[in-house]
Amino acid sequence: MTTHERRPSGGVRLSVPVERYELKCGASLLVSPRPGAPVTALELHLKGGPSLDPAGKEGTAYLTSALLAQGTEKWSEEELAAQLEPMGAQIIGSASGLAARVEGKEWKSLASILTEMILKPTFPADRVKLQKQRLQHRLLVERENPQAQARLGFRRLIYGDHWMGRAAYGSLETVPKINARTLRAHHKRAWVSNRATIAVCGDVEGPAVKRLFDRLLKGWEPGTLLKPRKPKFPKRGVRVASHPAERRQAHLFLGHLGIRRSDPDYPALVVLDHVLGTGPGFTNRIARRLRDQLGLAYTVHASISSSAGISPGVFTAYIGTSPENVETAIAGFLGEMERIQTEPVEEAELDLVKGYLIGSFPMGYERAARRASYLIASRIHGFPDDYLETLPRAFGEVTPADIQRVAKKHLHPRACCLSASGPVKSSVLKAALRS
pLDDT in tens, the chain (435 residues): 444 444 444 444 576 889 999 999 999 999 999 999 999 999 999 999 999 999 999 999 999 999 999 999 999 999 999 999 999 999 999 999 999 999 988 999 999 999 999 999 999 999 999 999 999 999 999 999 999 999 999 999 999 999 999 999 999 999 999 999 999 999 999 999 999 999 999 999 999 999 999 999 999 999 999 988 888 999 999 999 999 888 889 999 999 999 999 999 999 999 999 999 997 756 689 999 999 899 998 899 999 999 999 999 999 999 999 999 999 999 999 999 999 999 999 999 999 999 999 998 988 888 999 999 999 999 999 999 889 989 999 999 999 999 999 999 999 999 999 999 999 889 999 999 987
Residues 208 and 349 reside in one and the same domain? no
Answer yes or no: is 30 within a domain.
yes
pLDDT at residue 15, rounded to an integer: 67
Residues 212 and 278 reside in one and the same domain? no
Give the distance from CA 435 to its chain's centroid: 33
pLDDT at residue 3, rounded to an integer: 41
Give residues with Cβ within 8 angstroms of 208, minimum separation 6.
none
Residues 186 and 251 reside in one and the same domain? no
Give this prediction's pTM: 0.92
250 strand-pairing partners? 321
Distance CA 52, CA 62 (A): 11
Residues 176 and 99 reside in one and the same domain? yes
Q: In terms of residue numbers, what domain contains 157?
A: 19-216
100 strand-pairing partners? 42, 91
Residues 157 and 283 reside in one and the same domain? no
Residues 295 and 149 reside in one and the same domain? no
Answer yes or no: is 11 within a domain.
no
Answer yes or no: is 107 within a domain.
yes
Answer yes or no: is 12 within a domain.
no
Residues 69 and 149 reside in one and the same domain? yes
94 strand-pairing partners? 97
Residues 263 and 362 reside in one and the same domain? yes
Indicate the number of domains in the chain. 2
Q: Which of 149, 181, 216 is the last residue of a domain?
A: 216
Task: Give the CATH number for residue 167.
Answer: 3.30.830.10
pLDDT at residue 6, rounded to an integer: 40
Residues 206 and 258 reside in one and the same domain? no
Residues 305 and 356 reside in one and the same domain? yes
- Confirm if 18 and 81 have CB atoms less than 8 A apart: no
Residues 202 and 80 reside in one and the same domain? yes
Total residues belonging to the chain: 435
Comparing C-alpha atoms, which of 213, 197, 215, 195 is closest to residue 205?
Answer: 213
